With several copies, the nearest count.
Chain A
């Protein structure tokens, strides 16, 4: 399995961490960000989410984020998985795994990577509410 992926199917956080940890025995701190579908957005009740991406470009941007994280932070490895398609409330959407010798580096890299993902990755979220469907136009 690749460390950076976009996929329809769900992922296992444990398996993704194992994938990253397999790279080195010197990993002492792993920081994970998991984004999940929540039931409320701007006081609208959400029924379901639907994610679309720009195939090819989105994957390339996630790869870039991993490489820049490895260049700019003192981490050992990073994995990124983003789901597309229909996502129910409570389901996994996105996962970032940052592994380092020491925890501070892992925290910094993970926090940077999720912010950068939101900034540069061509992925779009549609919220399906009881009143209808709407493409989200701002950063959450």
Chain B
């Protein structure tokens, strides 16, 4: 089970703040994005634009990040603090 968190406009698009999802063991970030697009078609556009960042366990994920059972993954739209 992976916990997925949505913030700002993504939370509005998905209609939820937090979702738990069963994913195959140890999948790549790219693979994980494909799953997200299927599960949450409302945010496909955001994921394709690459304007959103993804964090895994509260650290920015990279191409090489693997996602595994128990992780907290967050979808982060462009920041606008400050």
Interface residues in chain A, defined as those with a beta carbon under 8 Å from any beta carbon in chain B: 35, 51-54, 56-58, 60, 82, 93-94, 114, 117-126, 135-140
Contact = CB atoms under 8 A, between A and B. Distances in A.
A135 B77 contact: yes
A54 B9 contact: no
Nearest to A82: B81
A93 B82 contact: yes
Nearest to B5: A54
Interface in B49-82: 51, 55, 58-60, 74, 76-82
Contacts of B80: 118, 123-125, 135-140
A79 to B, nearest CB: 15
Indicate the size class of the contact surface on chain B: 10 to 19
Given A124-B7, A126-B8, A137-B51, A54 B81 contact: no
Given A118-B82, A121-B82, A123-B82, 14 more contacts: A51-B81, A54-B7, A54-B58, A58-B81, A93-B82, A117-B81, A123-B81, A124-B7, A124-B80, A135-B9, A136-B80, A137-B77, A137-B80, A139-B80
B8 A52 contact: yes
A118 B79 contact: yes
A53 B9 CA distance: 12
Given A52-B8, A54-B5, A122-B55, A117 B82 contact: yes
